[in-house]
Amino acid sequence: MEKKRLPFVLYRVLAYVTGIFLILLTFAAMPAKYLVGETARFSLVGAPAGMENLFGDDSVLMALIAIPHGYIYMFYVLVVLWLAIDRRWGVGRTVGVALAGTIPFVGLVLEHRMATAEKAATATAAAAAQPGQGVPATEA
């Protein structure tokens, strides 16, 4: 794998993994901890019989989802910084891409848009690098 491509490939993988963990955290682990079970802070319903360890303040889902998400997100931010330095992004774009990993679904959408733009830029660079290809000569 060429050196220029490695940070982008890592970014894509981590964007998906971070996004999936964030969706699980937002829509599974957090509601299980705060909304379901007798020990939950804002208990709306009781925990199903036999599954009490999945719900409430001592929810095992928090340990299985929230902790790995935190570490994966830190690695994601480091890869975003690496990519930003490699591609010479401005501060705004760098911070925006890093923060996209904190909003469910936004990181996945942004990754898709960046991958499309990267493919277009790669195709343009490849066409420009080939002599005789690209811009047709005009007749005099």
The reported pLDDT for the residue numbered 59 is: 77
Tens of pLDDT, residues 119-131: 888 888 778 877 7
Q: Partners of 36 in the beta sheet?
A: 45
pLDDT at 16 over 60: yes
- Residue 21 structure tokens: 């963990």
Q: What percent of the chain has pLDDT over 90?
A: 51
The reported pLDDT for the residue numbered 138 is: 60
76 Cβ contact partners less than 8 Å away, ≥ 6 residues apart: 11, 14, 15, 17, 18, 98, 101
Tens of pLDDT, residues 21-55: 999 999 988 888 887 766 766 766 676 776 666 68
- Please give the C-alpha separations between residue 128 and each of 131, 133, 139, in angstroms, as whole numbers: 7, 7, 20
Domain boundaries, the chain: 6-114
pLDDT level of residue 1 (50, 70, 90 thresholds): low
Average pLDDT over residues 8-19: 94
Average pLDDT over residues 84-99: 94
59 burial via Cβ count (<10 Å: 0-12, 13-18, 19+): buried
Question: Which position has the token pair 């964030």?
Answer: 22
pLDDT level of residue 81 (50, 70, 90 thresholds): very high
pLDDT at 8 over 80: yes
